[in-house]
Amino acid sequence: MEIYEKSMKFWGYRRKDGRVGVRNHVLILPTITCAAQTAQRVTELVNGTVSFIHPHGCGQIGADFDQTYKTYVGIGAHPNVYAVIVLGLGCESHQANKIAKEIEKTGKPVEVVSIQDQGGTLQAIADTAKIAVRLVQEASTMQREECDFSELIVATECGGSDACSGLSANPAVGKTSDLLVELGGTAILAETTELIGAEHLLAQRAVNDQVSKRAYEVIEAMEKRSVLMGVDLRTGNPSPGNIEGGISSLEEKSLGAATKSGTSRLQEVINYAEQPTKKGLVWMDTPGHDIEQLTGMVAGGAQVVLFTTGRGTPTGSPIAPVIKISTNTPMFEKMNENMDLNAGTIIDGIETIDDVGKRILLEIQSVASGKVTKAEVLKQYDFGIWRIGPTF
C-alpha cells in the first residue's frame, strides 16, 4: 500500500500571508481573563465562532509578559483562523489594540471590542456578536483548494502515558513524523521535561553544533527550574514502577517519549510559541503539561496535532484539530468517543509500527481536508499558556 509517493495533497484554505489553514474559524480572542466569559457568551450566540477560557493577561511582567503576548499573537495569526475579534476589558496589561495590530499583519480581518469602552458586559456581547455574524458569513464563502503536505506543520505530543506508549503509538507517530519530513513538511517535538536523559541522543541528530548546543541548553534550563522548586527531575528516574514495567534506564524511558520524533535530523530548537523557521523535524522547548505544550505548538503555527495517550485524555484545541491515538485496544474501546485512532493493534500483533504510521498519515490528510476529530465534535477547547514568571 504505497499511498504516498513523493508528494501528498490535502484540501486547505490558503491565507494572505502565504500560510495554509485546515480550519476556517472566526476566533473571539479574549486577551484577558476578565473578558473570557463574555467571549464564551458570543460563541453560544454565533455559530462558527470559537473561543477559550483562560486565567492569563494581567499582572504579568518581563519575559513572562512577552511569552503570553507571543502566544496570543500566534493564536490570532494562525492560518486555521479566518478572522479575529480581539476582546479586551480595557485596563489590563495585555492591550487588545496592540495584539490586534500584530495579528493584522497577516492580512486577515481583525476587529477589537473593549468591555469598558462598550459600557459593560451586555453591550460588549451584542457588539461582538454583531461583528461575528458578518465575519462568519464572510468566512463561509472561502473555498478549500489543493495544498501540498510540505505546507503542513504537525505537532506531536503524548499525555496520560502507559506501558504501551513507548511501544505502539509513540513509535508509530515517529514513523508518521519521518514520512511527513520526507514529504517536505514539518513535525514538532515538544515536552522538554520528558526528554531529560535523551538529550545527548537528540543532540547527535542535530544538523549542526549550534542546534546540538541548544538541545543541551533547553534541557539544562528545564532542570534548573525544577531544582529551584526543590526537585531534581533526573534522580529517582526511572522510578521503581518504571523498572517493574521493564524500563532499565533514564535514556530508555525518555526515548519512549522521544521516539515520536522518528529518526529525522533535528533542524532547529525553537522557543515556546515561536514559528519554526525550518522545515523538517523541529524541537519546541515546552513543559510536559499537556495543554501548555499544545497551546505553544498551535501558537507556533501547527495546523494539526497528533496526541498519543494510554490512559485516555479528552484534550483538544479551539484552533487546531487534535487527532487522538490510543496506545492500547481496551482504552480505545472504553473511551471511544475521545479516541480517533487505535495503535493498540501493534501490541495485539495485528499491525506493524509502519502500518500504523501510514494510517496516521492518511488520517492527517483526511482531517486537514475537513474531517472533524472527536475533540472537535465534543468542543474540547483547551488553552493554557506556559507561564515562566509569577503573577504580580
Dist CA 3 CA 205 (whole Å): 28
| One character per residue 153-172, x = contact with other proteins (rule: CB under 8 A) | ----------x---x---x-
Q: Where are the beta strands (DSSP E) in 100-206?
A: 110-114, 145-148, 153-158, 186-189
Residue 246 binds other proteins (CB under 8 A): yes
CB of 248 to other proteins, least distance (A): 5
Considering only 53-61, 117-125, 140-148, 247-255, which stretch makes contact with other proteins by CB under 8 A?
A: 247-255
Q: One symbol per residue from 302 to 341: x for binding other proteins (CB under 8 A), - otherwise; what is it? A: ----------------------------------------
Q: Which of 181, 353, 360, 375 binds other proteins (CB under 8 A)?
A: 353
Sign of torsion over alpha carbons 78, 79, 81, 83: positive
213 binds other proteins (CB under 8 A): yes
Q: Which is nearer to other proteins, 106 or 212 (CB)?
A: 212
234 near other proteins, judged by CB under 8 A: no
Tell which residue, 75, 95, 56, 73, has the closest CA to residue 387.
56
Of 23-31, 79-87, 124-132, 239-247: span binding other proteins (CB under 8 A): 239-247
Please choose, out of 22-30, 177-185, 244-252, 299-307, the segment that lies near other proteins by the rule CB under 8 A: 244-252
Is residue 236 a contact point for other proteins (CB under 8 A)? no
C-alpha cell at 264: 529525522
For the segment 187-206, give every residue that binds other proteins (CB under 8 A): 198, 200-201
- The residue assigned the cell 523538517 is 280
For the beta carbon of residue 46, count every other beta carbon within 10 angstroms.
20
**How far, in Å, CA of 234 to CA of 197, rounded?**
7
Applying CB under 8 A, among 104, 216, 314, 335 the residue interacting with other proteins is: 216
- 270 touches 119 (CB < 8 A): no
Closest CA to 172 of 303, 344, 350: 344
In whole angstroms, the minimum distance from the beta carbon of 280 to other proteins comes to 18
- Choices 58-66, 123-131, 145-153, 258-266 (CB under 8 A): range interacting with other proteins: 258-266
- E-strand ranges in the chain read 9-14, 20-21, 25-30, 49-50, 81-88, 110-114, 145-148, 153-158, 186-189, 266-270, 280-284, 304-309, 322-326, 341-342
The one segment of 221-229, 251-259, 267-275, 282-290 that binds other proteins by CB under 8 A: 251-259
When asked if residue 250 is in the footprint of other proteins (CB under 8 A), the reply is: yes
Binding to other proteins by residue 249, rule CB under 8 A?
Answer: yes
At a CB cut-off of 8 Å and minimum separation 6, what does 288 contact? Answer: 191, 192, 193, 194
Is residue 245 part of the contact set for other proteins (CB under 8 A)?
A: yes
Q: From the list 37, 47, 263, 336, which residue makes contact with other proteins (rule: CB under 8 A)?
A: 263
* Residue 251 makes contact with other proteins by CB under 8 A: yes
In angstroms, give the least distance from the CB of 364 to other proteins. Answer: 22
**Distance (Å, whole) CA 149 – CA 368:** 10
Q: How far is the CB of 228 from other proteins (least distance, A)?
A: 21
- Greatest distance between any 2 Cα atoms in the chain: 63
Q: Is 352 in the site for other proteins (CB under 8 A)?
A: yes
3-state secondary structure of 357: helix
CA-nearest of 325, 322, 332, 333 to 367 is 322
Three-state secondary-structure class, residue 287: coil
Q: Backbone phi, then psi, for 99, in 5-degree steps?
A: -65, -40
Measured from the CB atom, the residue of 37 and 208 that comes closer to other proteins is: 208
171-190 binders of other proteins (CB under 8 A): 171
Q: Which positions touch other proteins (CB under 8 A)?
A: 163, 167, 171, 198, 200-201, 213, 216, 243, 245-252, 255, 258-259, 263, 346-347, 349, 352-354
